[in-house]
Amino acid sequence: MAKYKIALLPGDGTGPEVLREGVKVAEAAARRFGFSIETTQYDFGGDRYLATGEVLPDSAIDELRQYDAIFLGAIGHPDVKPGILEKGILLRVRFELDQYINLRPVKLYPNVETPLKDKGPEDIDFVVVRENSADMYTGIGGVQRKGTPFEVAMQCSVYTRNEVDRCLKYAFEYTRKRNKRNTLALSGKTNVLTYVYDLWERAFHEMGARDYPDIKREYYHVDATTMWMVKNPEWFDVIVTGNMFGDIITDLGAMVQGGMGVAAGGNINPEGVSMFEPIGGSAPKYTGQGVINPMACICAGQMLLEHLGEAEAGAAIEKAVIAFLQSDQYPGMSAKEIKEKGSSTAKIGDAIAEFVATV
């Protein structure tokens, strides 16, 4: 029987509540499909930082390398200055474990409300492959004469050919494997960022023409991408883009698919240890109330199991999520609806876990 070692990073705010349900559902899938999950929990986050001054000990990074995957709740604490925990935990794990892909599916499930008029599940089903290791996130840059009228601030977009190539390779392979419309769109800004996105565009067409003649290539400027994601989301199959643009367009993607309550993502090192997370924040004002929809975290668990090669288990979680959405137990996405209809984070997790055992 396969046994997977999973590190749990519940994090801050409502992170622990949703992660509990993500694990519950993954364990239900493990029981059904005959494998097991051994979890180890780490308490990195705002509370630990406030109590000890420590964000993430160096030893933790080496420990995290020993797992088959990492499952994260949420990072972000209202009493900690923005950036400390995000950089010190989330970005540090991404960088040190070289999780150079951020895979973010944008899929509208039945009965989930999208703000896009006249669009349904048949129109909204694409995936963003966000480069996850470089760009403006490298920290290259600096500040001088801070606080004076002559302050200079600079934070550069930096890409090496290798970083671009390895991301494109993943995106082309993913598009081929997905086998939906076999179309990969590069989202860039070649009309202004004439160094960085010129590099991306050349690399994209070179690799595509050479190694992936079966994959159709498209190019969109990033601003136009946001426009078409809203107007014609059905145009997209897989979108590949740099880290900063990917960050921005996937928040739009999350809204298009019905909100942060359903949006999941994977920070993937195809050759190493990957980390899966609901992409929403820690929603501190709801902490402990049990009113946050755990579906995004449950879907992140689905991605985690698929990444480990448990395709059937992943598929069962997706089916269970859909069955739940079509059942009368589904209260709606928002905290308000969950509260009003007498549902809860745990009840949603229980219901989906039950469907996993039977769908």
Give the active site residues. 137, 189, 223, 247, 251
Report how far residue 61's alpha carbon sits from residue 109's, in angstroms, rounded to the nearest whole number: 36
User: At its nearest, how many Å lie between ligand IPM and the CB of residue 49?
Assistant: 15
Q: How far is CA 196 from CA 157, 175, 239, 302, 345, in A?
A: 7, 23, 17, 34, 43
Q: Which of the stretches 112-120, 187-195, 244-252, 280-288 binds Mn ion when contact is defined by CB under 5 A?
A: 244-252
Residue, CB closest to ligand IPM: 86
Q: In whole angstroms, how large is the CA radius of gyration of the chain?
A: 20
Residue 131 binding Mn ion, by CB under 5 A: no
Single out the residue of 293, 257, 263, 258 nearest to residue 277, CA to CA.
263
Of 12 and 247, CB closest to ligand IPM:
247
Residue of 91, 108, 215, 304 that binds ligand IPM (CB under 6 A): 91
For Mn ion, which is the closer residue by CB, 137 or 197?
A: 137
**Binding track, positions 67-86, relative to ligand IPM; x by CB under 6 A:** -------------------x
Q: Which is nearer to Mn ion, 25 or 296 (CB)?
A: 296
Q: How far apart are CA 273 and CA 23, in angstroms?
A: 18
Cβ of residue 312: shortest distance to ligand IPM, in angstroms? 28
**Positive or negative, the Cα torsion across 311, 313, 315, 321?**
negative
Which runs of E-coded beta strand occur in 122-191?
125-131, 141-144, 152-155, 183-188
Question: Which option in ligand IPM, Mn ion, none does residue 316 bind, with CB closer than 5 to 8 A by kind?
Answer: none
- Please choose which of Mn ion, ligand IPM, none residue 21 contacts, taking the beta carbon within 5 to 8 angstroms, the exact cut-off set by kind: none
C-beta of 249 vs 348, nearer to ligand IPM: 249
Nearest to 4 by CA among 358, 287, 307, 315: 307
34 contacts 305 by C-beta, under 8 angstroms: no
For 229, counting Cβ atoms within 10 Å of its Cβ (0-12 exposed, 13-18 middle, 19+ buried), the class is buried
Considering only 125, 135, 247, 277, the residue that binds Mn ion (CB under 5 A) is 247
91 binds, among ligand IPM, Mn ion, none (CB under 5 to 8 A by kind): ligand IPM
Which residues does residue 317 pair with via DSSP β-bridges, in sequence order? none
Q: Give me the least distance between CB of 347 and ligand IPM, in Å please.
A: 27
- Contact (CB, 8 A) for 24 and 350: yes
One character per residue 267-306, x = contact with ligand IPM (rule: CB under 6 A) = ------------x---------------------------
Does residue 247 interact with ligand IPM by CB under 6 A?
A: yes
What is the rounded CA–CA span in Å between residue 190 and residue 239?
A: 16
**Which residue ranges make up the site for Mn ion (CB under 5 A)?**
247
**Which residue ranges make up the site for ligand IPM (CB under 6 A)?**
86, 90-91, 247, 279
